[in-house]
Amino acid sequence: MVTTAATTPNLDPALRVNLVWSPTTGVTRESVPAIPEELSALVEEVSTEGKLAE
């Protein structure tokens, strides 16, 4: 299953960040850019039935 905003409707968008560490500023939060439409169109559901999923 692909985890997207549609499959996780209770996901707080404010928590969707990259944590970046720098020796001068420490840990900072950077927003995650939106997925471009041309890539989003390629995403499809993948069954985990019969597969080891950890």
Enter the tokens of residue 5: 């905003």
Q: Which of 4-8, 19-23, 24-28, 35-39 has the lowest mean pLDDT?
A: 4-8
Average of per-residue pLDDT across 9-20? 84
Segments in 1-54 forming alpha helices (H)? 37-40
* Rounded-to-integer distance, Cα 17 and Cα 31, Å: 5
Enter the tokens of residue 3: 């985890």
Strand duo 17-22 + 26-31: pairing: antiparallel
Predicted TM-score (pTM) of this structure: 0.46
Query: pLDDT band at residue 52, thresholds of 50, 70 and 90?
Result: confident
* Rounded-to-integer distance, Cα 30 and Cα 23, Å: 16
Confidence at residue 29, expressed as pLDDT on a 0 to 100 scale: 93
